Structure 1
Amino acid sequence: MKTSSAPTVQPPTVRGLLAEPPLRLRVRLDGDGRDIAIDWVHSSDLVDPTPFLTGDTMLLTTGTQFPADDDAAFYGSYADRLLDAGVVALGFGLEVIREGTPPSLVDACDARGITLVEVPYEVPFIALIRWVADRIAARDRERDAWTLAAQRAVSLSALTAGTLEAVVQTLADQVSGAVVILSPSGETVVEVHSAAVDLGALADEGRRILRRGTRASADVTLPEWLGFATVQTLGPRGALRGAIGIAGAGRHDVATQAVVTGAVAIVEVLLRYGDAERRLERRLGGVLVRLLLDGHLAGAGAAAAEFGSKIPDALRIAVVPLPAGVADSERDRLLDELTREGLAFADSSAERVVAVVPAAATDAFSRAVAGSATLAALPVGLSAVLAPAEASTGLAQAVRALDQDPDAGVHVFGDSAAGLLDDLWSPAAENLARRRLGGLVGEPGELVDCARLWLDHNGHWESAAREAGLHRHTLKARIARIGTLLELDLDSFAGRAELWALLQASRA
């Protein structure tokens, strides 16, 4: 249901008063106020009634305060005071004190553009006051009716559709304008139009107040938009859920504010509901990831099916190490960004985020990482394509990819310079290599470091010893000790190749 925010009852004006036959008013001077809305009608015979007037008032007088002679200076000062007070028009009651309107009063009003009408003796001032009051009351009733209808429409959209998009669309319809919702980071979540409005400036203002981190609101001037425009934050201080920008037709009066306030409250409830739903999805994702990594395929499949999802037949495991001291809110946002497009299940700990990515979504996952300011600044390890039963192997592969390249960006296992060794690597091979090299641990001389340094120098004794700060005979003695402990002939290519493979597989 759409109700118009534009009033059908016209505001009271001098033109409207003149059109009422029972009032029999006569226009003496058109002036500038004939079509200005009258807020009230006040009668006074004071020389200076302005302390008792508000803007856009029509003043009625019988002229008892006017001098007997036609004093042009007096009338000029009187008219100046009315003009400064924002009087819409002056109504002069005929035949109460004098038969006609004083000529000097006419001249003074004419010189200042003040609308002047004459009220016949038979027409009481109260008739004009009542006519204006009735029109104001009718407009107020119309605005009240619109407010109730608009609030009901927004509430019904929340109850029936129950979506943020439906509520925002209904609000835009009711205010005959447009609405934009921003996420806490300032990204556009929903943008709907019921009128041609450029919401760029509105969204920019929303991002500005979001950066302050506190509850705030602000009016905005939009280019080529004659209605109102306002933005305000959503959610409590310290936990803002975003911002809303609203551009509507007409004035941002009490009636419009009531509709906007009610709609914003509903939007905040939906956002809280969405937060709870996302938390549930994150917990489900964590359960699925842990089940897969522990090898419980049947349980993972059943849990996914219960929530209308499915474990992919081919998948990759992604690992994102978290910066030290990362806040819970930041970790939650990271999880949201990893799973926003439905690309992954994700689990997190204090040290890292682990995600299960369908193999078919690899490219989309990489684009999502590159498009996220948070993720693009972090290293992401990605395993080879594996079956669900190999998820634990995928985790080890993703971690190995990170070890080989800790820079920001997506690092896919098997894409490094290690080439064939990456293809041959497995968690079992790493465990075997660590056990073999464990015999070197605790021996004097840091044998593992000496072995890697020596191999990095292609077995050249002089350069390796120089870098190690050792005599070449000392280095030779340590390498010989390594060969003895590992039962390898390090004078042969095969022995050296096996030592290098052990170091690579163990990530020593």
Structure 2
Amino acid sequence: MAATADLEPTLGALLGRRELRLRLASDVHDLPGDALDRPIRWVHGSDLADPTPFLADDLVLLTTGTQFAAAGDVDAQPYVDYVRRLSGRAVAGLGFGTEVARTGIPPALERACRDAGMPLFEVPYDTPFIAVARANAETIAAQAYARRSWALAAQRAISLAALRPDGLGATIGELARQLNTWVGMYDAAGELVREHPADALDADAARSVHDEVGAVLRRGARAGSSLRRDGRAFTLQTLGRGGRLRGVVAIAAGDLDREGRDVVTSVISMASLALEQHQRLGRARDVLRTGMLQSLRTGDPGLARRISRDAWGPMPVAPIVVAVTDAAAASDALGELLELRADERRGALFYGQGDDGMVLAVAAAETEILDEVATLFALALGVSAPTGYDGFDAALQQARVARDRGGRGVTHFADASRTGILSALSTHEGRALASALLQPLVAHDAAHATSLVPTLRAWLDADCSHEAAARALGVHRHTVRTRLAAAEAVLGRDLAAFAFRAELWAAFAALG
């Protein structure tokens, strides 16, 4: 954060005001290490034996010592009890006005302050208590003015940074410089996309922040969050609207003062606005990409290549593989990740929204992005065999087959195709058609106690051999012939036709 150390209202700064001529009576070595650097909220004067009900934390108390008149220098206990009460109220220091009620500081008070680690200083007779209080108040006012001035200057610098070509990156960098700390911006997928200074976090801290960002994004609510790792504090602020978060800004800082929070809020507002504008542009780009996808499916990539060259850079170099996600995977986060990767690796990725999922095309030798997408979004992704752009539509059909036959993760068409053509019949539609074809035989068997269905199945399994089917069924071959003739009559079809035999075999295969 911008330095204003010379304006900090601390006990050390107060003692350093030469015009006050205050003298530290405590030995510095007897005080806690931060005793003189502790911020002072106010300076108050009181000669009450117990002023603590009227005091606030981080306050310096001034006294002339009239409350100790009865104790004198013999009984030390009143001094010990007095200092203990002040310490319990978190008083930052005690100033003793000499030559008013007595000469010098009572030794018993010095010992009590030393034992309690309470800073004790002398206020000379000709230095009014009001002058000490006013000096601290002036420092507080000067600090507040400096912080407001810093906040205005910081917001002006950040606004100018937002006008640069990479407005978001420049804004994040300027915020880091103004706060004098590390600042990182994460996208909607939880990946770090910008940071300043670069690589400033160690691996453990970076991992912890990444995990917390992921948790914040999964909750989906617009909110702030805090994280502490190995004594280092981080503040996280979401970008975008609740339910449609665009990312997270992480700051390596804990509690910021009001001015610091105001500066961060301005950055969050500008970043959110920039991302919303980017989203609107993204929708227009998505429409353009969908049109390019339709052009590619015609087998003529010329139009798509010209548009891509002018808008994003070259298309992936053939041979390519085509991939398609499941329809449920469509999301703003997926689109933003693909846009980011397409921008980072110009010419290595094309994507567009298809009829039933997001369609991706990458060079056949650069398929790492497909694994990343499938893993990060836990989706099903079918991938075609390598092809040229003239085979784009056929490759898209291959990718759909691979997606539909595979599960979560990446499924290649080469692997899916090994299960055979008949496995494609194992669908609701295929089973419905198969059941309808065989239903007359099933009904006949149920009504007349015949065995037309098992006989027909055994005959087909035996390559249409009557003798082999009879052996499998344990009946005479003439029984098989009689049953097959009855099946022909029930179905009204000729079993001698190969096409009908194939259709029956496919029906049995579909029904398992």
TM (norm. structure 1) is 0.75
Quickly say closer, same or farther: Cα 1:98–1:460, change in 2 above 3 A: farther
Deviation at 1:60, TM superposition (A): 1.2
Q: Calculate the aligned-residue CA RMSD, in Å.
A: 4.5
Q: Residue 411 of structure 1 aligns with which residue?
A: 412
Q: Residue 29 of structure 1 aligns with which residue?
A: 26
Letter in 1 for 2:215: R
Deviation readout 1:293-330 (Å, 9 max, x if unpaired): 356766545544553455666555434343xxx4xx84
Letter in 2 for 1:36: R
Quickly say closer, same or farther: Cα 1:381–1:88, change in 2 above 3 A: closer
Quickly say closer, same or farther: Cα 1:112–1:411, change in 2 above 3 A: closer
Contact 1:88 1:114 in 2 (8 A): yes
State yes or no: 1:219 paired with 2:226: yes
Aligned equivalents of 1:395, 1:333: Cα separation in 2: 23
Q: Residue 59 of structure 2 aligns with which residue?
A: 57
Deviation at 1:246, TM superposition (A): 0.9
Quickly say closer, same or farther: Cα 1:134–1:474, change in 2 above 3 A: farther
Contact 2:455 2:484 in 1 (8 A): no
State yes or no: 1:112 paired with 2:113: no
Alignment of 1:26-105 (within 5 A): 26-30=23-27, 32=31, 33-70=35-72, 71-105=75-109
Letter in 2 for 1:139: Q
Alignment of 1:359-508 (within 5 A): 359-360=363-364, 363-364=367-368, 366-375=370-379, 378-382=380-384, 385-388=387-390, 390-401=391-402, 405-408=405-408, 409-412=410-413, 416-417=417-418, 458-459=463-464, 462=469, 472-473=480-481, 476-477=484-485, 490=498
Aligned equivalents of 2:441, 2:135: Cα separation in 1: 105
Aligned equivalents of 2:305, 2:335: Cα separation in 1: 21
Alignment of 1:87-486 (within 5 A): 87-193=91-197, 195-196=200-201, 198-223=205-230, 225=232, 228-248=233-253, 252-294=256-298, 300-301=304-305, 303-305=307-309, 307-309=311-313, 315-322=320-327, 326=328, 330-335=330-335, 341-342=341-342, 343-349=349-355, 352-353=356-357, 355=359, 357-360=361-364, 363-364=367-368, 366-375=370-379, 378-382=380-384, 385-388=387-390, 390-401=391-402, 405-408=405-408, 409-412=410-413, 416-417=417-418, 458-459=463-464, 462=469, 472-473=480-481, 476-477=484-485
Aligned equivalents of 1:85, 1:307: Cα separation in 2: 67
Aligned equivalents of 1:234, 1:380: Cα separation in 2: 33
Aligned equivalents of 1:478, 1:368: Cα separation in 2: 59
Tell me the number of residue pairs that the alignment of Structure 1 and Structure 2 aligns.
465
Letter in 2 for 1:72: A
Letter in 2 for 1:218: S
Quickly say closer, same or farther: Cα 1:488–1:274, change in 2 above 3 A: farther
Quickly say closer, same or farther: Cα 1:454–1:39, change in 2 above 3 A: farther
Letter in 2 for 1:122: D
Quickly say closer, same or farther: Cα 1:99–1:268, change in 2 above 3 A: same
Deviation readout 1:318-350 (Å, 9 max, x if unpaired): 34343xxx4xx844445555665332232233x
Deviation at 1:381, TM superposition (A): 4.8
Aligned equivalents of 2:495, 2:195: Cα separation in 1: 70
Deviation at 1:161, TM superposition (A): 3.0
Mean CA deviation greater in 116-125 or 303-312: 303-312
Deviation readout 1:105-155 (Å, 9 max, x if unpaired): 334333323222222221211221222222222322332232223222222
Aligned equivalents of 1:415, 1:311: Cα separation in 2: 27
Letter in 1 for 2:142: A
Deviation readout 1:372-401 (Å, 9 max, x if unpaired): 4423xx25152551434x444444444455
Aligned equivalents of 1:317, 1:478: Cα separation in 2: 50
Letter in 2 for 1:416: S
Deviation at 1:442, TM superposition (A): 11
TM (norm. structure 2) is 0.74
Deviation readout 1:398-451 (Å, 9 max, x if unpaired): 445557x444532326973489x99xxxxxxxxxxxxxx9xx9899669xx999
Aligned equivalents of 2:154, 2:307: Cα separation in 1: 42
Letter in 2 for 1:258: D
Letter in 2 for 1:219: S
Deviation readout 1:19-52 (Å, 9 max, x if unpaired): 4443223333335344433332111222322222
Q: Which runs of 5+ in 1 are unaligned?
A: 423-436
Deviation at 1:269, TM superposition (A): 1.9
Aligned equivalents of 2:220, 2:119: Cα separation in 1: 51
Deviation at 1:262, TM superposition (A): 1.6
Q: Residue 2 of structure 2 aligns with which residue?
A: 5
Deviation at 1:283, TM superposition (A): 1.8
Q: Secondary structure at the match of 2:411?
A: strand
Aligned equivalents of 2:407, 2:193: Cα separation in 1: 31
Deviation at 1:281, TM superposition (A): 2.4
Q: Secondary structure at the match of 1:159?
A: coil
Q: Secondary structure at the match of 1:345?
A: strand
In terms of fraction of residues, the more helix-rich structure is 2
Aligned equivalents of 1:463, 1:370: Cα separation in 2: 52
Deviation readout 1:237-268 (Å, 9 max, x if unpaired): 222223222104x8622222222222222222
Q: Secondary structure at the match of 2:237?
A: strand
Q: Secondary structure at the match of 1:114?
A: coil
Q: Secondary structure at the match of 1:344?
A: strand
Letter in 1 for 2:251: I
